[in-house]
Amino acid sequence: MPKFFATTPRGMEPLLAGELQAMGATEVETDRSGVWFAGELEIGYRACLWSRTASRILLELARFPAADSQALYHGVGQLDWETHLAPEGTLAVDCTAGETPINHTHFAALRVKDAIVDQFRQAHGVRPSVELARPDLRLHLHLAGEEATLSLDLAGESLHRRGYRQEGLAAPLKENLAAAILLRADWPAIAQRGGSLLDPLCGSGTLLIEGALMAADSPPGWGRTYWGFEGWKGHQPKIWEALLAEAGQRRAAGRAHIPLIRGCDADPQAIRAARANAARAGLEGAIQFEQGAFAQVGPEGPAGLVVANPPYGERLGQERELARLYLQLGEVLKERFGGWQAALFAGNVELRIPLRPRRSYTLYNGALRCRLLIFSLDATPRQTAPPPPVPQSPGAQMLRNRLKRNVRLTGRWAQRQGISCFRLYDADLPEYALAVDLYQGETTWAHVQEYQAPTEVDEGKATARREEALALLPLALEIPPEHLFFKMRRRQRGKAQYEKQAAEGRFYEVREGGCRFLVNFTDYLDTGLFLDHRLTRALIGELAGGRRFLNLFGYTGTATVHAALGGAMSTTTVDLSRTYLDWAQRNLTLNGFERGNDLVQADCLEWLRQAERERRRYGLIFLDPPTFSNSKRMEETLDIQRDHGELIQGAARLLEPEGILLFSTNNRRFKLDQEALAGLAVEDLSRKTLPEDFARNPRIHQCWRLERQS
């Protein structure tokens, strides 16, 4: 069955995967800036015609070794190109590359072209010519390691070019990004129930046109005049014609279901361009455009969605002016659009909207990192609710006083150190056995865990104290109650601490030492960022420069991000969980690290043995295993107290000369077996890597630096 890869801008991979699954694609799997899938050729054609978020649909032709340019030339020459292209045809070759011996993409593309034209010249005495704009055959070469993947670009040019936008204004929004914004804002469901769509800063109308195409069940590729597969000798016209006939019927029937869609802009040139673009998209009369300032816009029609892409500042305005615009926009939404949903695509993430988003997503407009904020606007004017009663028991007052004190002292310490995520309270009062961690990003969140009470403690009293503390915490910390997340922490064995507690899938962005991380407060016992490892991660960043870095039991890849930021030559992250590797990839992407970072799903014990057989070497290794693991996917159980000697020695055998191994464990009863570490120089870093906010409990983690003795 043919295999395909669909490319898309960063952050849009889950949306694209959902589209492909709905079309009937199989083996759908997200990857960096794209999605792998399988299916018959009809699925590839359907994706070209119907995908709203894809950039390109690549049909894989071959994979072969490419350790150097000659191997690349040979691999391309092994294919029968007469089955794909006529001798007098035209072709173009694009190339992307990761970490690979052939590091010049233009040269690699030329070698592919040479191999193809040489084959035709030898067979026929004539050769295809190169045509960069709309060739008969556009190929895509991807190099990773010593392997080449050669694919046919079915669309031939980026799918964001729908064919309707010919009059763009400054700072245009690509059509597939506009579609992603609307999909994230649940516009298809709002449109289906008859809700209206309004863009008060509509520019050339891209968001509204994409919204109308969705509501009308119209394929985004309908208006395109060029497809890359039409000059391909493997093209099957009957399949394509059947898809077009089906799309035409759906498009004709869907026009009647377009709800009220309106756009407004103060620039008359923008309104003229928007009307012309809508007409080219076959939507003349389906969208109302009017010139005017957004401050005068009010709601019309059934409550629905307000969507806007305000100026970013980098190209269109100054920050002071933008601050006023964002403030005014928020006030207009709050005062006039009660009962509506709102979606603001904010390029300048430092500016603030006077509204609290219920969801946020990171998307990229080209290389520019942007934030999509989703709001639910109150249906009735806000009324100030009376504050909840403050617990009055002597114990509660003691807890409140301690929290206030810690906020003052620990908060000031964290601010001086530039620390935004830290432990505020750790069972300071034995009666309130809580761990309270503060995470500061766009706002402040509190992650609260209660240590399980001993069996001799009366359950009723423990419950009363817990409820008292949870009522008190938002007041003492001055945060909304919905920003507090509570979990019961029981003694864990195996992978229980990593198992799902919920399935909300909501992530929040925080910062640490110049790095950005995504944390999740609900779905797992831990958030994805171990705060007690803060200094350990900083040490990794300091040691990583110019070294190959290996992160074993890599979890969400936070140590990998620090290594990459510290200038690591390359990074490899190994973990058995696909979930955590995907999370690690998102953390790397969030920090702009696209290349030289391998993510390996494997049992670390088996992977170590395989890596030793392959003679892999690393200059810096971070080994942070769980205390115990018996995953069904592991070939053997892991008990860190029993197995740490063998595990450390196995990792140390991968060290380069003068390489460094950092070993860490959170097993509070752990004792290092020095005899099992013969041949290694060992330095205890436990105290040096213990952050000040965890100093009350020095056994929370232990850490050692190990090097091979000469």
Tokens linked to 685? 């870093």
What is the structure's pLDDT at 317? 42
Q: Which residues of 1-35 are buried (b: 16+ CB within 10 A; e: fewer)?
A: eebbbbbbbbbbbbbbbebbeebebeebebeebbb
Provide the number of structural domains found in the chain.
4
pLDDT digits (tens, 9 = 90+) for 271-314: 999 999 999 999 999 999 999 888 888 899 899 999 999 887 54
Q: What is the CATH number of the domain that holds 429?
A: 3.30.750.80
Same domain, 79 and 134: yes
Whole-number Cα distances in Å, 355 to 24, 265, 326, 359, 506: 39, 22, 10, 12, 19
| Cα-based angle 439, 556, 357 (whole degrees, multiple of 5) | 40
Report residues of the chain scoring pLDDT below 70: 167-171, 313-321, 348-352, 379-392, 453-457, 489-505, 630-636
Domain membership flag for residue 521:
yes
Domain membership flag for residue 159:
no
What is the structure's pLDDT at 454? 67
Same domain, 586 and 461: no
What is the structure's pLDDT at 500? 45
Same domain, 534 and 627: yes
> DSSP letters of 368-384?
EEEEEEEEE--SS----
Same domain, 370 and 467: no
Phi and psi, residue 651, nearest 5°: -70, -40
Burial class from Cβ neighbours inside 10 Å (0-12, 13-18, 19+) for residue 499 reads exposed
How far apart (Å, rounded) are the C-alpha atoms in residues 221 and 173? 17
Domain boundary among 322, 345, 376: 376
- The pTM for the full model equals 0.57
What is the structure's pLDDT at 496? 39
How far apart (Å, rounded) are the C-alpha atoms in residues 341 and 323? 22
Q: What is the CATH number of the domain that holds 50?
A: 3.30.2130.30
How far apart (Å, rounded) are the C-alpha atoms in residues 98 and 96? 7
Same domain, 399 and 371: no
Domain membership flag for residue 276:
yes
Domain that holds residue 481: 394-490
Same domain, 626 and 681: yes
Give the length of the chain: 710
629 Cβ contact list (under 8 Å, min separation 6): 494, 495, 637, 638
Domain membership flag for residue 230:
no
Domain membership flag for residue 399:
yes
Give the three-class secondary structure for 272: helix
Same domain, 663 and 552: yes
Q: What is the 3-state secondary structure (H, E, C) of 518-561?
A: EECCCCECCCCCCHHHHHHHHHHHHHCCCCEEEEECCCCCHHHH
How far apart (Å, rounded) are the C-alpha atoms in residues 245 and 169? 34
How far apart (Å, rounded) are the C-alpha atoms in residues 84 and 72? 19
Same domain, 181 and 324: yes
Domain membership flag for residue 235:
no
What is the structure's pLDDT at 497? 42
Nearest to 444 by CA among 483, 411, 502: 483
Q: What is the CATH number of the domain that holds 678?
A: 3.40.50.150
Tokens linked to 440? 């500061």
Same domain, 211 and 67: no
pLDDT digits (tens, 9 = 90+) for 464-521: 888 888 888 988 998 888 889 888 765 444 443 444 444 456 788 999 988 999 999 9
What is the structure's pLDDT at 50? 97
Domain membership flag for residue 366:
yes
Same domain, 538 and 580: yes
Domain membership flag for residue 231:
no
Same domain, 207 and 339: yes
Whole-number Cα distances in Å, 586 to 10, 240, 285, 356, 613: 9, 36, 42, 24, 31
Same domain, 428 and 356: no
For residue 575, the cross-strand partners are: 601
Nearest to 267 by CA among 299, 232, 294: 294
